[in-house]
Structures are given as C-alpha cells and as structure tokens.
Amino acid sequence: MYAVQKQLFPDQKTDTAKKHRSGTFVDNMKLPVHRWFRYSAGFSAEWVNALIIEIKEDKSDLLVFDPFAGSGTTLLAADYVDVKSIGIEAHPFVSKITHAKLSWSESLQNFSTKRDVILNDANEMTPESLNYPDLIHKCFNKDTLTKLDRLKRAWIKNNDESPSSSLSWLALTAVLRSTSSAGTAQWQYILPNKKKKVTSEPFEAFRNQIGLMIADMRLFQKFSKKNLGRLFQGDARKCPDVPDNCADLVITSPPYANNYDYADATRFEMSFWGEIQNWGDLHQAVRQYLIRSSSQHASKEKLILEEILQKNILKPIYNEISEVCHELAKERLLHGGKKHYHTMIAAYFYDMAKIWYEIKRICKNDAKLCFVIGDSAPYGVYVPVEKWLGKLAIAAGFKSYYFEKLRDRNIKWKNRKHRVPLHEGRLWIDT
C-alpha cells in the first residue's frame, strides 16, 4: 500500500461504508485539493485512487481517461500517484474550477504573493455601484456584497492568466456560499429565499481559503512533483484533442438520466462573476454543451421524439426505449409540470451511444472501463439505465458488461410521490 494513501486519506472507513459512498463526493470534502470546491455531482476520490493503484501494479506506464471529468476527482487521484491522465469536461464554469485545482503544483511563494496583492488592492478600493443580477442582491447583504465586489475588482486588476490567478479565482468562488445568507438545496441549487446564518466575512474567508489551499498544496507537492493531469474543455461525444488508442483505464461518472441540471448548480457563482444575467441565460452559457440529462434541456431544444428514436445508433435498444418513451409521453399529460422526460430519455441515450464510439476509439485493446451510474424513474416510469448503456457499449464494439450494485437510492424521486426502487453502482466494461 502506498504511503500516500495513509497521509492523504487518514480517515479510513470500514469497507462497507466506503463501498456505499464511493459514488458520492461527501468524503472528498476532507481531502486536500479535492475539498477546494464542493461539487455534489462528484464521486469518491479514495475509491478512484485505490483502483488506479491496483491497475498500476500490472501496468507501470498507465494513462487514465475521464470523459466526464467534473471537478477533477479522477485527474487529481491520478496525480496523487504520478499517473498520467486526460479529462474532458463540457461545463465551462466547472472546467475553470478543475483547471484551478490542477494548478496545485504552483509555487507557494507566487500564490501567497498574489493573495497579498489582491487583498491590498481590495482594501484600498473605494466602493462602486453594485451592478449585479437580482439573484446576487438577494443572496448577500449590502456590506458583504460591497466587500466581495472589491475583492473581485482587485482580482480582475491583477489577473495575468497565471496558475496563481486561477487559484485565487477559485478561492474567491469557493467563499461565495459561506459569505451568503442564501440556503443551498441538496443538489447545490441556490435558494435565495431560504435564509441561513452568514458564517464568514469576505476578506477573512478569502484569506482563510487561500491558507487552506496553500497547506493542501504543500502536502500534495511532498508526494508528487509534477501535475500530469490534462483537462480539455470540450464534448466527450467528439473529442479530437484526445488521441486514438491511448487510454488504459477509464474511470468516470456520466450525468445520470435523472433531471439534475448541472447548469443550475453553478447559477449562483456564474451570476456573481457576470457570466450570466439570469436563469434564462443558462442554456446558452452551459446546457447546450452537455449530455441531455435534464428536462429543461429537452424542452428548450423542442426535440421531436420520433426523430430521435429513429436514429441508427439507438437500434440496439429501439424496442425497449421506444416503449418507455411513449409511456412517458402519455404520463406527462397527467402531471401539472408536463415535463419533457420522454424526449429527455431518448436524447440522453442518443448522446450516450455516441460516447461509446468515441471511447472505443480512445481506448487501448486491453483497457479497463468503469462507469459509476444510477438508474432513474421519471414520473415513476422505470428506465434501466445500466442495461441500456451496456447494450449500447456492446454495439460500439466492446466485449461485455457487468453491473456491480453499490447502494439503493430513490431520494430524488420520492419527492415526486413514487416508490420505484432505484440503485447506483459501477458498470464495468470489457474491451
């Protein structure tokens, strides 16, 4: 066992507890670098790390690929043990966060100098009119927003596109939630009308956040000298930046077909930085680039069910998916929201079918693939996600698939008054 595991993962849990939580980000909030930004869609770094170490025992010159890199869990876990990795992330704001985390090898001196310059300039700045979207005014009191605005202007003034700039951008982004009076829902959606206690003052929070980041970087740099992880902001359905036949191991978790809106999850932070003005901007700024796993996405694109179902690439599951989507098309008429789950499910599998072909191109002949995935039941209609993904993988040229269940879940859909049991686990694919 690597010494790094003991130092970086000090809070060892029992095997069962760890297994149940390997699909979640919870434990990452105790881990250096991973904890710089809470990304509730992420999975367990400890599990990824253990898997990489296991495979590395047989293959020394390993390349790990994560087509849905998110907050960079896989890439950082690979960095921990000096393994090369490539990630793709389509969400522009999440990519920026991950890019900053991958700057952990920056000189500590440069980063602390950048912190001091920003804090000094922010201290000297006079307040200006606060031109922010309504959401931001609802989430902060005036005094707090004035201070955050000074920090933001000081950051902009000193931004030189260096790793230290990227790291200090993340530090300011990371303190927005703790300095805000707005609550956060389970999936990180911001709740401006649900007030909570403000736990920190902006200047102090920014300084503390950078203190924590520097301590983490010091620890990380003790084990690993070089950042080997490369992140491309792009689309995993077609990623020409990644060469053919290069990946030995794919560890990833794609969006689930469960209506989670990745764009909405960063609405608050993007509004602060001026990247969007209102909720309506999210589609153009983010959603259009992503796998269609939310009904917002499907309704905005005005998708036509039959057109998607007729796509050749969906042939291997045509009968099953067609039945489910038509049932959803009927079911939606019985519900107030009339959500577009019928087209969402069709588009989701259409997008994911393309992913398999692209991954097949990128993988070596003996690669190992693991997808952390959950099934779903919109409006109580069951969608056997892992079975359909497995069939689509075979159609793209993979040999076989096997699903290892990790835990039961139906938290989200329980709110919608149905009792369809759901689960989450690892879909292993053989090349």
Ligand X SMILES: C[S@@+](CC[C@H](N)C(=O)[O-])C[C@H]1O[C@@H](n2cnc3c(N)ncnc32)[C@H](O)[C@@H]1O
Q: Which residues bind ligand X (CB under 6 A)?
A: 39, 41-43, 68, 70-71, 73, 88-91, 94, 235-237, 253-255, 262, 290-291
Q: How far is the CB of 66 from ligand X (least distance, A)?
A: 7
Q: How far is the CB of 260 from ligand X (least distance, A)?
A: 8
Q: How far is the CB of 239 from ligand X (least distance, A)?
A: 8
Q: How far is the CB of 207 from ligand X (least distance, A)?
A: 26
Q: What is the C-alpha separation between 332 and 317, in angstroms, rounded?
A: 22
What would the two tokens of residue 103 be?
């700057």
Nearer to ligand X, 149 or 351 (CB): 351
Q: What is the C-alpha separation between 304 and 309, in angstroms, rounded?
A: 9
- Report the side by side order of strands in the sheet with 84-89: 229-233, 84-89, 63-66, 247-252, 363-374, 422-430, 400-409
Q: What angle do CA 267, 407, 418 make, to 5 degrees?
A: 70
Nearer to ligand X, 69 or 148 (CB): 69
- Nearest alpha-carbon partner for 214 in 147, 114, 84: 114
Q: What is the C-alpha separation between 354 and 80, in angstroms, rounded?
A: 31
Q: Which residues pair with 191 in a beta bridge?
A: 183
- Nearest alpha-carbon partner for 431 in 392, 399, 388, 386: 399
Nearer to ligand X, 90 or 328 (CB): 90
Nearer to ligand X, 43 or 356 (CB): 43
Which alpha helices (DSSP H) does 159-251 contain, by range? 163-174, 176-179, 202-223
Nearer to ligand X, 45 or 145 (CB): 45
Nearer to ligand X, 29 or 156 (CB): 29
Q: How far is the CB of 4 from ligand X (least distance, A)?
A: 19
Nearer to ligand X, 151 or 257 (CB): 257
13, 32, 114 from 10: Cα distances, Å: 9, 11, 31
Nearer to ligand X, 94 or 190 (CB): 94
Q: How far is the CB of 414 from ligand X (least distance, A)?
A: 20
Q: How far is the CB of 253 from ligand X (least distance, A)?
A: 4
- Nearest alpha-carbon partner for 392 in 328, 312, 329: 312
Nearer to ligand X, 88 or 170 (CB): 88
CB atoms under 10 Å from CB of 206, counted, come to 26
Phi, psi of 382 (to 5 degrees): -75, 135
Q: What is the C-alpha separation between 381 and 259, in angstroms, rounded?
A: 14
Phi, psi of 85 (to 5 degrees): -150, 155
N- to C-terminal Cα separation, the chain: 28
Q: How far is the CB of 263 from ligand X (least distance, A)?
A: 9
User: What angle, 0 to 180 degrees and rounded to 10, lies between the N-to-C axes of helices 45-58 and 73-80?
Assistant: 50
Q: How far is the CB of 365 from ligand X (least distance, A)?
A: 24
Q: What is the C-alpha separation between 156 and 168, in angstroms, rounded?
A: 11
Q: How far is the CB of 102 from ligand X (least distance, A)?
A: 12
- Nearest alpha-carbon partner for 251 in 227, 229, 270: 229
Q: Which residues pair with 402 in a beta bridge?
A: 428
Chain position carrying tokens 């009191």: 141
Q: What is the C-alpha separation between 236 and 376, in angstroms, rounded?
A: 22
Q: How far is the CB of 362 from ligand X (least distance, A)?
A: 13
User: What angle, 0 to 180 degrees and rounded to 10, lies between the N-to-C axes of helices 341-362 and 385-395?
Assistant: 40
Amino acid at position 323, single letter: E
Nearer to ligand X, 71 or 209 (CB): 71
Residue nearest to ligand X (CB): 70
Nearer to ligand X, 73 or 209 (CB): 73
